[in-house]
Amino acid sequence: MNAINFFLFPGSIAQKQYEALRMYYVEKKTTKEVAKKFGYKHRGFTTIVTDFNKKLKNSNIEGLFFKPTQKGRKTTEKVLEAKNIVIDLRKTYHSVEEIKAILDGKGFNISEKTIYNIIKREGFSRLPRRTKLVKQELLLPKINADKSHRLSFALENFKSTSAGVLCLLPYIKKFGISQEILKSDYPETKTIDKLSSILSFIALKASNVRRYSSDDCWCMERGLGLFAGLNVLPKSAWYTSYSHRVTSEMNLKFLKSLHKIWLENDLLSDTANLDFTTIPYWGEDEHLENNWAGKRGKALSSLLAILAHDPDTGIINYGNTNVTHKNESNEVFGFL
C-alpha cells in the first residue's frame, strides 16, 4: 500500500471514522457524500456525527482515535495486576513497607518505589504516625493468600516485616530441637511435614500477632513462612485442624525429649516453680469444669492447666491442660 491509499482507504474502524469525520467537518462535504465515499449508510454516518459531538461536548475525546504516548518506562503486566491490591491495602492504611511484604507473599516482585508511585498517582496522602497497637488492628481487604508449600530454597529476594523470628533458628538447630521434632509423633501431611508444622506454630507465636482467628497479614508474610520452611504460613483453619490431631501423649513424649536437651546443656536448676493456671472458655460446651480465676475473683467454665517453670532460665519445662478436679492432686507427681 502506498502513502496516498493509506489515507484514502483506511483499514481500521477508528481511522475510517476519523477520515470520514475530517472530510465532513474540514472539507465541508455533505453527510450523503461522506457516507457514499466510506461505505456507510446515511443513517449510520449521522449517528457517528451525533456521538462525536456528544463526546466533544463532554470533553471525552482522549484516546478516541489516537492512543496517547505514555512517557517514561512502560508499565509491566505485573504492576498492572498488583495495582488494585496496592490501592485496596492503602485504603486500609497499610504502609509501603507492609504492602511490599504482602505483595511478595502473593508473588508480585515489585519494588517499594513502584508501590509508592502507584499510591502517589492515585492521590493518597502520607500516613500519620501509628502506634504498634494501631498497626496490629489494621484490617486486611479480601485478598486470597497463596497455599502453603515447601520451599525449594532457591535464591530470591523478598520483603519481610517479621524477619526477627529467624534469629531463633540457629538455637533450634544448635540444641537439636529440630531433630527431636522430626523424631516426635506429631502428625504431618504430604505438603507440610512435622518440622514445618511445629515451626508454623512457633513462628505465629513469636511474631506477636494478637489475632489468629482471621487470615491477616501473617499468612502472606514470607519471612514467617521462611522460618517454617514454607513459602507462607498456613491459614488459620489449618491450625485448628492440626491441633485436633495432636494428643496429650504426643506432647508429653516431646516434653520428655526437650527435658533431656535442657539437662544436657545445663539449662535447668535444682528448683522448679510449679503452679496451676485457669484458661477461661467462652463457648457453650458444658463438659468443662468450673475453676477459680484469681484475676476475675470468681469461678469460670475453663481449662485448668499446670506449668513448670525454671526460675533461672525461664524455660517452661512441663505443661498439661487436661487437669480435672479428681486428678489435680496427682499432677505434681506426674511432673516428678
**Average pLDDT of span 73-79:** 68
The string of pLDDT tens digits covering residues 24-52 is: 989 899 999 989 888 888 988 899 889 88
pLDDT at residue 245, as a whole number: 93
Half-sphere exposure at residue 221, Cβ-oriented, CA atoms within 13 angstroms: 26
**Average pLDDT of span 155-182:** 89
Q: How confident is the model at residue 69 (pLDDT cuts 50, 70, 90)?
A: low
Q: Where are the domains of the chain?
A: 3-57, 77-136, 163-245, 269-335
Cα–Cα distance measured from residue 134 to residue 136, given in angstroms and rounded to the nearest whole number: 5
pLDDT at residue 274, as a whole number: 92
pLDDT at residue 54, as a whole number: 85
Give me the residues paired with residue 318 across strands: 308
Percent of the chain with pLDDT over 70: 87
pLDDT at residue 73, as a whole number: 61
pLDDT at residue 82, as a whole number: 81
Cα–Cα distance measured from residue 177 to residue 265, given in angstroms and rounded to the nearest whole number: 12
Cα–Cα distance measured from residue 294 to residue 285, given in angstroms and rounded to the nearest whole number: 22
Q: Catalogue the long-range contacts made by 268-271 (C-beta closer than 8 Å, 24 or more residues apart).
A: 268/310, 268/313, 268/315, 268/317, 269/310, 269/311, 269/312, 269/313, 271/310, 271/311, 271/312
Cα–Cα distance measured from residue 261 to residue 268, given in angstroms and rounded to the nearest whole number: 10
Cα–Cα distance measured from residue 302 to residue 304, given in angstroms and rounded to the nearest whole number: 6
DSSP 317-334: EEEEEEE-TTTGGGHHHH
Of 91-95, 183-187, 203-207, 257-261, the least confident:
91-95
pLDDT at residue 217, as a whole number: 66
Is residue 266 predicted with pLDDT exceeding 90? Answer: yes
Q: Residue with C-alpha cell 502517589?
A: 120
pLDDT at residue 209, as a whole number: 66
pLDDT at residue 331, as a whole number: 86
Is residue 139 predicted with pLDDT exceeding 60? Answer: no
pLDDT at residue 291, as a whole number: 84
Burial of 22-34, coded b for 16+ CB within 10 Å and e otherwise, reads ebbeeeebebeeb
Is residue 214 predicted with pLDDT exceeding 60? Answer: no
CB atoms inside a 10 Å sphere around CB 257: 15
Is residue 78 predicted with pLDDT exceeding 90? Answer: no
DSSP 79-124: HHHHHHHHHHHHHTT--HHHHHHHHHHTT----HHHHHHHHHHTTP
pLDDT at residue 187, as a whole number: 94
